[in-house]
Homo-oligomer: A and B are copies of this chain.
Amino acid sequence: MQFSKSTAYGLHALMLLAKSERGRNVGIKELSSSLGASESYLSKIMSKLRQDGLVRAVTGVNGGYELARAASEITFLDVVQVLEGRQHLYECFHGSDHPLPSLEAAGDEPETPEFAFGEGCPVKQVMDAAELQMNRYLQQHTIQSALNQAGSCDAHTASKK
């Protein structure tokens, strides 16, 4: 289990857009050469971000992308959910919900097993809650907040130059 490259690209593209900002449209060429991704591939990603309302795009001369809302209003969770999808990380394998098989009931009912639970399967509960912990954190961090972090780092590495 890993985040897809698309998510990495998407996050970085948004960081770049946030840095540039001020009405200026940033073209796919600029983005792709900055990130080292192909134009075609990155454009797919940008397209998804647009469809989900994270960026605006304008075609034609001087066209390109810009953030659709303030960088402080775009959370990491937004980006992850667009590019990784919104399914749960943990998916049950029998039917859609609840069970938890027991050893004893094994041979008896192979197709409609006598399972122990209703809604509150503890395995799924733990896994979903774990996912929630991560998502909560991702939701608390925005492109802007990351950019601020970057700023302070910038300062201290600039001195090295």
List A residues at the B interface (Cβ < 8 Å). 1-5, 7-9, 11-12, 15-16, 19-20, 26, 30, 33-36, 76, 84-85, 87-94, 100-103, 105-107, 110, 116-118, 120-123, 125-127, 129-131, 133-134, 136-138, 141, 146-147, 149-150, 153-154, 157, 160
Name A15's contact: one of B123, B131, B133, B147 (CB within 8 Å).
Answer: B123
Name A154's contact: one of B12, B117, B129, B146 (CB within 8 Å).
Answer: B117
* Contact partners of A87 in chain B: CB under 8 A: 2
Name A116's contact: one of B9, B26, B137, B153 (CB within 8 Å).
Answer: B153
Closest Cβ–Cβ distance, residue A17 to chain B (whole Å): 9
Q: Are A138 and B130 touching (Cβ within 8 A)?
A: yes
Q: Are B134 and A120 touching (Cβ within 8 A)?
A: no
Between A11, A30, A92, A146, the greatest number of chain B beta carbons within 10 A of the residue's beta carbon is seen for A146
In the assembled complex, the Cα of A100 lies from the Cα of B8 at a distance in Å of 11
Q: Are B134 and A122 touching (Cβ within 8 A)?
A: no
* Contact partners of A122 in chain B: CB under 8 A: 146-147, 149-150, 153
Closest Cβ–Cβ distance, residue A79 to chain B (whole Å): 10
In the assembled complex, the Cα of A101 lies from the Cα of B20 at a distance in Å of 12
Q: Which residue of B lies closest to A93 (CB)?
A: B8
Q: Are A12 and B100 touching (Cβ within 8 A)?
A: yes
In the assembled complex, the Cα of A104 lies from the Cα of B115 at a distance in Å of 60
Closest Cβ–Cβ distance, residue A105 to chain B (whole Å): 8
